Structure formats: structure tokens, C-alpha cells
Chains A and B, each alone.
Chain A
Amino acid sequence: MPQTYTPIASTTVGTATNSVTFSSIPSTYTDLILVVNGVLTGSGGGRFRVNGDTGTNYSYTRVYGNGSAAASDRNSNQDFAYGSNLTTVVSNGIYHFMNYSNTTTNKTIISRNSASDAMVNAVANLWRSTAAINSITFDTGGYNMTTGFALALYGIKAA
């Protein structure tokens, strides 16, 4: 049986930054998994784009718990995919880019993410494009990822 689940690239933030891009992603895997973990300079969340697409081609449906209630929301025609509720307390997210190199289907990304002082989420994102994904930019908007924030990209290849 072929072994799979391969590290593609990873980085640990040295100088605080609000954007990290994984580029030149090979098309040879079936799924990608992006793992993020760390602390922001403010509680503002995280988001991502693929292939540098700045158009309103992203949308999501989310279910979450904030410590007092469970709820669900949705946003359509966004210019970012929903990432996570990253905060000033260590938070994380794991994003599964399913069949990312398939050039027939639009791209569905499912994730679970959590901020221990804020909420836990499960999210389904849609990127309305049949293009193969070759770059992923993780962005934290008006706040920075602090020193030590870790991001890692993995590839899973089906037989």
C-alpha cells in the first residue's frame, strides 16, 4: 500500500506578519491539509485565499459554539474564505482542501478550528472555481501572527 501524508512545506513566524503564502503547490496529491496554530496580536480571526483570487468567489456555512450557545451562520460572495477565530490566546485550525487539483469540480474546503478563549467552529467553504489550487494565502487581516505562529501544509495522495 502506498504510504501517504507528506509534508509539503512549513514555516514558523519569526517577524510578526499578517500573511503567509504557500506557493508552487505540486498537483500530485489528492487532498491538501493546512494546519495553523498560534497567537495573534488581536482577536480578529483568520481567513484565506487560493491562487491569489481576490474576487468574490468564496462562501461558507459554519456551525459554532461560543461557550454559551450553539449557532450557525453563512456568508456568500466573499473575497476571502473563512479561516478561524484566532485570538490573543493560542488558537488553531485544520483545513482540508479536498480534491484540490481536480479541474472539473469547484473546490470544497472543510475545517475545524478553535480558539480556547472564544469558540469552536466547523466550517464548509466553497471556492467557485474549477482551477487546480497551486497557492494558499493565510491572512489575519488587521492583526499579525506573532513570533512562533506555526503553519504547515501536507499532501495526501490516494491510490
Chain B
Amino acid sequence: MTVARLSISSLNRGPSKKRTVLAGNDPILSGAYESIATVTVGAGGASSVSFTSIPSTYKHLQIRAIGRQNNAANTGNPKIEFNGDTNSNNYALHILYGDGATAAAYGTGAPTVSDVMITAGANIAANIFSAAIIDILDYSNTNKNKTVRSLTGADFNGSGTIRLYSDLWMSTSAISSITLTPNSSASFVQYTHIALYGIR
């Protein structure tokens, strides 16, 4: 069976409308999911990527990314920080992950570095990038601390990792800026692509 193009009948019986799209959840129709900003790293690399002046008019945010960084390792672990808050006492995280042989879990309360995704590192064959889908829930609510969940991973044809992250930012401030920073003083390399979306 080949589905070459969208037909009216398939639209009519297409997926039901949902209110939110989060990593791994059901999709929604356009109109509630908007592109806010996108960064594609150039030839010079980037020591961090920031989204600023984020409008407060959405319900949730989603970051969709492919990433690679220049540290001498197989993978990197960029962190996420909000509103310029670099105080590790304000972040906590838990991870479930598999490395192809073993499933494991890691968790820590504050203080911690708020790792949120995997990147491919410089020891991996060229032009292989990781992927990440990061959901930031109820980001503009001033009555809640902020919860982040992420599906991220990469396979390198003989190694790799797949991870589920849960991060907590212990602040009730509305999120107006987001910064992703590679670990080990590394930089994101060219073609790293990070896109921010708003969900109504």
C-alpha cells in the first residue's frame, strides 16, 4: 500500500484533535503549535544557544533539536537553564537511560547540573548528530515550579544511548529565556539545529 498524497477522505477521518503535543504523545492539528525561533549553528560553532524574550502567550514550549559538540568524547550532555539562572541549587534531575547493553537510572536533587539532552561528540564519525525533543510544561505559570521532560538519544552503529530526562527548575517565575550549554566547555558545532515551538 502506498500513500502518495493527502486525500480529502483521509483528512476527514484523520487523527482526532488533541490539546497538547509532548514528546511521544499524540499529534495535534496546526493552529495550536507554532514555531517561535530557530538557531542553526554556523561554521564558527556556538558555546551556547539561547532563546530570549519568549512570549508568555502559550501553554507549553517544545524544543526540537539535532546536536553535536566538539569535545573529545562519544557524547556530550548539554544543560538547560532558565532566565539566566545559573545557580545549581535551583535544579534537580532524574534520568532513565540505555547504552545498548544496560538500562540504568540516575537521579539527584539540588544542587545539580541540569543536563537535558545528548549530543554526538567529536570522537563519533562525521555528520552524525543526536536528536532531542524537550517539553517545558506550563512555562508561564507563576504558581508552579517548572518541569521539563526530554526524549533524547543517538545511535552510532556500534555505540550510542537513548535517554528519558526529567528536570526541575525550582522557580515559580514565568520562563522568558532558555539557554542550552554544552558540558566540558565544549561548543555546539556547525549544523546543530535547535528549534523552539509554542503550544497553545
Interface of A with B (CB < 8 Å)? 1-13, 17, 19-24, 30-31, 33, 35, 59-65, 70-74, 76-77, 94, 96, 98-99, 102, 104-106, 108-112, 122-126, 128, 130, 150-154, 156-159
Contacts and interface: CB of A to CB of B under 8 A. Distances in A.
Interface in B142-169: 151-164
Contacts of B44: none
Interface string B1-26: 11111100011011100000101111
Contact of A73 (B4, B37, B101, B105): B101
Q: How many interface residues does chain B have, given as a range?
A: 35 or more
A41 B143 CA distance: 49
Contact of B3 (A2, A11, A110, A124): A11
Contacts of B161: 61, 124
Contacts of B102: 71-72
A63 B103 contact: yes
B60 interface: no
A6 B30 contact: yes
Contacts of B131: 96, 98, 108-110, 124
Contacts, number: 227
Q: Is the interface of A mostly helix, strand, loop or mixed?
A: strand
B45 interface: no
B15 A35 contact: yes
Given A19-B1, A61-B161, A152-B27, A11 B10 contact: yes
16 contacts: A9-B4, A10-B11, A11-B3, A20-B3, A35-B27, A60-B155, A63-B164, A70-B98, A74-B159, A94-B24, A98-B64, A110-B153, A122-B98, A124-B154, A128-B128, A156-B64
